[in-house]
Amino acid sequence: MSFTKFVSRTSIAMCLLAGTTLSASAATLMVGNKYAGTVSFVDLDTGQEVQRPITGGSPHELAVSPDGDKVVVVSYLEDGYIGRELNVFDVATAEHLKTIDISPHMAPHGIAWLGDTDSVIVTTEETRDVIKVDVVTGEVTGHVAPGLIGTHLLAMSPDDATAYVTSRGSDKVSVIDVETMDILNTVKADTGPEAVDVSPDGKTLWVGNNQSETIIVLDTATMERQQVIETGYLPIRAQFDPAGTVVAVADLNGDRIVVYDPSSFEVVSAVDLAPHGAHGPASLLFSPDGKSLFTGAQDGARVAEIDTSTWSVTRVFETDEGADGLAFSDLKAGV
């Protein structure tokens, strides 16, 4: 889901910090630390982690409520553990509010909040399905089973009516009607599709394929290929900026972010994260105004902030081991 759907742009003021460039003021970045089983709440005004509560095992992706006051964290899977729960936290206090049992669905991973509703949509990889969950009641209210191996990540159309789900083990992309939870289409990707994002105008879908080291660009109206980009690296995440002018792609093994022009499909910049100790970038998140890009370093307890006007690292936030999924709220945590 686009940041612009759950934050107020008018509430984001930009400030100049000593030794840094512009950053979002009075806002909070939340980070799922998948190896540590914790969630970091980072005050973007100061760049300091203010809270680090324990959550369910293997916290990967996160989703924030429309008003920015709650964040839902999945509990995925790891050696000896298969998650069956979502955990809900209050953003301002970082207090754990509830645990939602989603059994018999297992290994929740990709997650997005559905517009102004009380519901999230979640991929549940171990049971090869996708579910809708009412965060208030804790009930699973919808379910569809593509039956594909590795239903891992999802991206939402701008109107939240359609979900696009990548299945890593089946090399497929599924198109799901969110209201009815019906499968509208299933198309062939390349090998190991994971990264997925929809352009802000809803017309194109970018899918990164880990094993074939390609990005395929699909027309969402027909789900036919427009372009294949031979990356030469593992493109584990892809995300459009809010204006749709660039696509950032995380090069997991190369410790860098590669930036593409979505019109020409050419590389316009590359950001080296290694000098900043941000190894294994596995998540991406643009600020609502597009001036900053955040990336979680899963092989380091940190998140790097990138200034998109210069494509340079401006700050590094210390978090916890396995920094991965990212979420943003315009509320200030730690109060």
DSSP character string of 71-110:
EEEE--EETTEE--EEEEEETTT--EEEEEE-TT---EEE
Dist. CA 53–CA 25, nearest whole Å: 22
Backbone angles phi, psi at 26, to 5 degrees: 50, 40
Dist. CA 293–CA 225, nearest whole Å: 27
284 CB-contact burial (10 Å; exposed 0-12 / middle 13-18 / buried 19+): buried
Dist. CA 204–CA 181, nearest whole Å: 21
In the three-class reduction of DSSP (H, G, I as helix; E, B as strand; rest coil), residue 9 is classed as helix
CA distances 331 to 50, 119, 262, Å, are 13, 20, 32
Q: What is the pLDDT of residue 26?
A: 66
Q: Report the CATH fold assignment for 26-329.
A: Methylamine Dehydrogenase; Chain H (2.130.10)
Once rounded to an integer, what is the mean pLDDT over residues 272-289? 96
Q: What is the pLDDT of residue 179?
A: 96
pLDDT class of 335 with cuts at 50, 70, 90: low
Backbone angles phi, psi at 274, to 5 degrees: -55, -40
Per the CB < 8 A criterion, the answer to whether 81 and 323 are in contact is no
CA distances 102 to 28, 38, 87, Å, are 27, 20, 11
Per the CB < 8 A criterion, the answer to whether 39 and 73 are in contact is yes
In the three-class reduction of DSSP (H, G, I as helix; E, B as strand; rest coil), residue 39 is classed as strand
Q: Record the tokens describing residue 334, joined without a space.
A: 């730690």
Can you give the pTM of this predicted structure?
0.91
Q: What is the pLDDT of residue 2?
A: 33
Say if residue 129's pLDDT is above 90: yes
Say if residue 277's pLDDT is above 90: yes
88 CB-contact burial (10 Å; exposed 0-12 / middle 13-18 / buried 19+): buried
What type of residue is 180? T
CA 259 to chain centre: 17
Condensed to tens digits (0 to 9), the pLDDT of residues 196-249 reads 999 999 999 999 999 999 999 999 999 999 999 999 999 999 999 999 999 999
Per the CB < 8 A criterion, the answer to whether 189 and 181 are in contact is no
Looking only at the bridges linking them, the beta strands covering 162-167 and 151-156 are antiparallel
Q: What is the pLDDT of residue 4?
A: 32
